[in-house]
Amino acid sequence: MSSKQWIAGINAVAAAVEHDAEHVREVLIEAGSKNPRLAEIEASARRRDIDVRRVAAQALDGVAGGLRHQGVVARYAAARTWGEHELAERVEAAAGRALLLVLDGVQDPHNLGACLRSAAAAGATAVVIPKDKAVQVNATVRKTSAGAADSVPVIAVTNLARALRELQKLGVWLYGLAGEAEDSFYSLDLRGNVAVVLGGESDGLRRLTRENCDKLVRIPMPGAGGSGVESLNVSVAAGVTLFEAVRQRGAG
């Protein structure tokens, strides 16, 4: 992520102001807008001593970079970043109930943002992504995630296979999703330390990632045969698997 950037949209700006105010440098709000959500963001920003300016809509269009700004943008310094060493700390702090989402090479920022929304809603311990050959948390991801990028730790690792092996040493079971796998995801016990490992949009799980999973499983799709649908979108698969873990853990 660049050291400074603009984020746009009501949910993205509101989440940044609420969860990461120290990195919000200023908030620009459309002059003359009567939207009560914008008034709430302005009040929240001012309470946190963040500069707020009312500007013309054209000015917002210019800095939003093509994103739909809904009347508000914020100039944002680099977000909270999580180091690889913090992954072990997060797992240990979960006291035997860690729930991790590992994404192996997701390229579409909208997919990553949607995965982060599901992870945050499920109370995931962290989301793990590779630093190379995968989309990172950028402005589009932040907007698509509707604030989840600020509330769930996203840990980018240099070597994903090595990170998976380290997770195994910490007692985390790694379950990779593969369409050709024989066993159903619903046959798993997901109540302990668990990581759901999903592949990218085009190639799925890479060979080394597969080899480091404890088990490969599939999401049953009874209607797939006649519909021409061979696999689920990665963000849909993330939601399905994470919330099966939530169901088994009795969270409510």
- Residue 18 confidence (pLDDT) above 90: no
Query: Within this chain, do residues 38 and 102 fall inside the same structural domain, yes or no?
Result: no
Is residue 220 within 8 A of residue 98, CB to CB? The reply is no
Q: pLDDT per residue over 40-51, tens digit each?
A: 999 999 999 999
Q: Give the residue from 117, 29, 36, 120 showing the smallest Cα distance to 74.
A: 29
pLDDT one-digit tens code per residue, 144-177: 887 787 789 999 999 999 999 999 999 999 999 9
**Residue 232, marked binder:** yes
Which of 53, 77, 101 is a domain's end point?
77
**219 appears as a binding residue in the annotation:** yes
Beta-carbon contacts of 190 under 8 Å, excluding residues fewer than 6 positions away, are 99, 244, 245, 248, 249
Q: Are residues 142 and 43 in the same domain?
A: no
| Domain co-membership, 10 together with 115 | no
Q: Which residues of 22-36 are buried (b: 16+ CB within 10 A; e: fewer)?
A: ebbeebbbbeebeee
CA 101/CA 127 separation, integer angstroms: 5
Helix (H, G, I), strand (E, B) or coil at 182: coil
Residue 206 belongs to what domain range?
85-249
Give yes or no: residues 47 and 103 share one domain.
Answer: no
| pLDDT for position 249 | 94
Cα separation, 241 vs 186, whole angstroms: 9
Q: Residue 139 phi/psi, 5° resolution? A: -60, -40
Where among 35, 59, 77 does a domain terminate? 77
Question: How far apart are the C-alpha atoms of 22 and 238, rounded to whole Å?
Answer: 30
Residues 122, 18, single domain; the answer is no
Q: Which of 52, 77, 102 is the last residue of a domain?
A: 77
Judge whether 179 is annotated as a binding position.
no
Say if pTM beats, i.e. exceeds, 0.85.
no
Shared domain for 64 and 187, answered yes or no, is: no
Please check whether residues 130 and 20 belong to one and the same domain: no
Strands 126-130 and 99-104: parallel
Could you tell me if 7 and 139 are in contact, meaning their C-beta atoms sit under 8 angstroms apart?
yes
What per-residue confidence (pLDDT) applies to 175?
98
In this structure, the number of other CB atoms found within 10 A of the CB of residue 236 comes to 15
Written as one string, the DSSP assignment of 90-146 is HHHHTTT--EEEEEES---HHHHHHHHHHHHHTT-SEEEEESSSS--S-HHHHHHTT
pLDDT at position 92 = 96
Indicate the number of domains in the chain.
2
Q: Is the pLDDT of residue 213 over 90?
A: yes
The CATH code of the domain that includes 67 is 3.30.1330.30
Indicate if 199 and 111 belong to the same structural domain. Answer: yes
- pLDDT band at residue 223 using 50, 70 and 90 as cut-offs: low
Q: Are residues 176 and 66 in the same domain?
A: no
Question: Residue 213 corresponds to which tokens in the numbers above?
Answer: 């999973």
